[in-house]
Amino acid sequence: MQYMLLIYGDEKAWNDMSEDEIKATMQAYGEYSKELAASGAMRGGSELAPVSTATTVRVRNGKALTTDGPFAETKEQLGGYYLIEVANLDEAIKWAAKIPSAAFGSIEIRPQIET
């Protein structure tokens, strides 16, 4: 099954990190991605630019309404994702728990609907 691992965290906390901490986290992400790829479960993934760069579009009555900012203002923001393919939820949970941000933010696991 394929699962999206959505990485949520407080962007402010991220901005408050020292350069060394950021470097260590980035390195941890690099190692995680390598391990995930080596296992054969990796189907995609990326870090996302901060929500300050987000644009939201809605089409109503055929008209596109474009607004600045994310869909919803929340305490934790979507900061990146991985798409993985594993046998079951338990394995997805195992990979989610290994994402470096899981130690301070949260990882939402969403199964893909199989068609």
Partner 1 sequence: MLNQAIATLHRRDGGRILAGLIRRLGSFDVAEEALQDAYAAALECWPRDGVPDSPAAWITTVAQRRGLDVLRRNQRLLTDSETILAALAAPVDDEPIIDAAGLADDQLRLIFTCCHPALAQSAQVALALRTLCQLSTAEIARAFVEPEATTAQKLVRAKRKIAQAGISYAVPAAGELKERLAAVLAVIYFVFNEGYSATDHDQLVRPDLCAEAIRLARLLVSLMPEQPEAKGLLALVLFHDARRSARSDVDGVLIPLEAQDRSLWNHQTIAEATALLDSAMLKMQSGPYQLQAAIAALHANAANAGATDWLQISALYGALLRHVSTPVVELNAAVALAMATTIENGLAWIERIVATGVIDSYYLLYAAKADLLRRAQRWPEANDAYDQALERVKNRAEREYLLRRQREVARWIR
Q: Name the residues that contact partner 1, by CB under 8 A.
A: 1, 3, 87-90, 92-93, 109, 111, 113-114
Q: Cβ of residue 97: shortest distance to partner 1, in angstroms?
A: 11
The CA R_g of the chain, rounded to the nearest whole Å, is 16
- Contact 8/108 with Cβ under 8 angstroms? yes
Closest among 97, 86, 102, 99 to 3, alpha carbons compared = 86
Q: Cβ of residue 111: shortest distance to partner 1, in angstroms?
A: 5
Q: Cβ of residue 105: shortest distance to partner 1, in angstroms?
A: 19
| DSSP β-bridge partners for residue 80 | 7, 47
